């Protein structure tokens, strides 16, 4: 809550200031990143990618904010560099809203595991966004292959109508994939149906693209990153409901922690295979950015991972390939973040379903694994990497 209050205060101060030029904002951001201790552990290239991702996300939000009368669902794709630990198993997209607006969403449901619409109280990237409401098309009986229409805002209407909560600023769409090779995406569009809508919401701070870049920098560098740097290292807290106050998906359980390994070490993560509609794990670099997930196996879903005979998945984080199928490749980062998600659970996870972490010597890894744990040859590993070119980002 303190973090959200601080970010809101930054936005208020921004509203009272003169608009900042884009060039000045980028220079300020670059200076802040260079002085941040995270840059030393992340390296120059990762720091530059992170900064570029912040600027790109802020500019996308600024462009949409100038055309609130003509909204569109814009995808926030990227192979690396996106702030906020972009989940490779998702296609993320968003449209900006006005709280007094009226909207029609049309779509055709793909076969991917889950489709959710979140309504947030902040524009993406420039704010964390508190979760105001979630619309679950699957709970409405919409099945793969079906076309649908959802109405938001205004007076009640026949059909699938939902009110817009006060303070609504953005619609965040998540298409979640469990199996990259077989599942198909949804097709979606949005239109504003109330006549005479204003193109700009004058109540939202920020008059220039530079203002939006500085707001993004404050949100992440001054707010969220210092908070998560306090997470335990190589220890996993119990699963908990995701923080919907920071833009997390309501109804999801997750585990987030930091990892730190040396050459010759491995962090062994053990977790039960669950009955969730989606279960996945991923790594992030020191800036809380997902490394290149097409060329590196930085994430695995339940469908992609090998399950041992005891019903558990065992993931290995190490700087070199251990020859284990469920290797999570940190892409050269000796420290970073681990994030595990369970979505669409029929019930909360039990205590014995919580994941565990064990730091071991890489040379002794085999002694900590069941004999049937799947091993892979270099050729099989190359096949796994080739499959990652089917990532949801490459779906039309």
Per the structure, the complete domain to which residue 369 belongs is given by: 234-394
177 and 221 both lie in a single domain = yes
d(CA 359, CA 275): 27
d(CA 298, CA 295): 9
pLDDT score, position 249: 60
81 and 144 both lie in a single domain = yes
156 and 7 both lie in a single domain = yes
- Dihedral sign, Cα of residue 238, residue 242, residue 243, residue 246: positive
Residue linked to tokens 């290995």 = 316
157 and 243 both lie in a single domain = no
* Straight-line distance from the first to the last Cα atom of the chain, in angstroms, rounded to the nearest whole number: 38
d(CA 129, CA 172): 10
Pick from 77, 179, 80, 175: nearest CA to 387: 179
CB 211 within 8 A of CB 14: yes
d(CA 11, CA 212): 10
Boundary-marking domain end, from 206, 225, 244: 225
213 and 136 both lie in a single domain = yes
Residue 45: how many other CB atoms lie within 10 Å: 10
243 and 322 both lie in a single domain = yes
d(CA 125, CA 147): 30
Boundary-marking domain end, from 191, 208, 225: 225
User: What CATH number is associated with residue 334?
Assistant: 2.60.120.1600
Per the structure, how many domains does the chain have?
Answer: 2
Residues (pLDDT < 50) of the chain are 1-16, 244, 246-247
266 and 326 both lie in a single domain = yes
DSSP 104-129: EEEEE--SSSEEEEEEESS-TTTS--
- Dihedral sign, Cα of residue 249, residue 254, residue 259, residue 264: negative
Within 8 A by CB and 6+ apart from 224, the residues are 3, 128, 246, 288
The beta-strand segments (E) located in the chain are 74-75, 90-96, 103-108, 114-120, 131-135, 147-152, 161-162, 170-176, 187-192, 240-241, 252-260, 265-272, 278-284, 299-301, 312-317, 327-328, 335-343, 356-361
282 and 203 both lie in a single domain = no
109 and 215 both lie in a single domain = yes
Pick from 216, 217, 211, 210: nearest CA to 36: 217
Boundary-marking domain end, from 225, 257, 292: 225
Pick from 264, 259, 278, 395: nearest CA to 334: 259
Query: 129-142: per-residue pLDDT in tens?
Result: 899 999 999 999 99
245 and 213 both lie in a single domain = no
282 and 171 both lie in a single domain = no
253 and 117 both lie in a single domain = no
3 state SS of 281: strand
pLDDT score, position 242: 67
pLDDT score, position 393: 84
Both tokens assigned to 290? 């997902």
């Amino acid at each position: 809550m303190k973090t959200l209050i601080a970010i809101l205060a930054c936005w208020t101060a921004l509203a009272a200031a003169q608009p900042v030029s884009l060039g000045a904002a980028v220079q300020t951001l670059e200076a802040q990143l260079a002085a941040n201790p995270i840059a030393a552990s992340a390296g120059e290239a990762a720091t530059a990618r992170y900064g570029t991702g912040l600027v790109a996300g802020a500019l996308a939000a600024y462009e949409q904010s100038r055309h609130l009368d003509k909204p569109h669902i814009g995808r926030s794709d990227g192979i690396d560099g996106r702030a906020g630990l972009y989940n490779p198993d998702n296609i993320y997209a968003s449209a900006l809203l006005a709280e007094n607006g009226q909207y029609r969403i049309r779509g055709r449901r793909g076969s991917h595991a889950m489709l959710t619409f979140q309504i947030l109280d902040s524009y993406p990237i420039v704010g964390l966004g508190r979760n105001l409401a979630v619309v679950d098309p699957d709970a409405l009986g919409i099945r793969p292959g079906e076309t649908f229409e959802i109405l938001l805002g205004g007076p009640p209407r026949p059909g699938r109508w939902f009110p817009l909560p006060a303070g609504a600023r953005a619609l965040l769409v998540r298409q979640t994939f469990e199996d990259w090779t077989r599942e198909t995406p949804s097709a979606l569009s949005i239109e504003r149906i109330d006549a005479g809508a204003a193109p700009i919401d004058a109540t939202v701070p920020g008059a220039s693209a530079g203002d939006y870049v500085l707001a993004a920098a404050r949100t992440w560098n001054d707010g969220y990153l210092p908070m998560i740097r306090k997470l335990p290292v190589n220890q996993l807290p119990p699963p908990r409901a995701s923080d919907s106050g920071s833009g997390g998906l309501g109804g999801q359980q997750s585990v987030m922690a930091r990892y730190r390994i040396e050459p010759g070490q491995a962090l062994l993560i053990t977790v039960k295979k669950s009955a969730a509609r989606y279960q996945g794990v991923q790594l992030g670099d020191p800036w809380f950015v997902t490394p290149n997930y097409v060329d590196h196996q930085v994430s695995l879903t339940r469908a992609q991972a090998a399950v041992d005979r005891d019903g558990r998945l065992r993931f290995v984080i190490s700087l070199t390939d251990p020859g284990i199928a469920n290797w999570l490749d940190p892409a050269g980062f000796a420290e970073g973040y681990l994030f595990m998600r369970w979505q669409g659970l029929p019930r909360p996870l039990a205590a014995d379903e919580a994941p565990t972490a064990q730091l071991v010597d890489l040379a002794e890894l085999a002694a900590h694994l069941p004999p049937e744990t799947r091993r892979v040859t270099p050729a099989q590993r190359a096949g796994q990497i080739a499959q990652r070119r089917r990532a949801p980002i490459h779906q039309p």
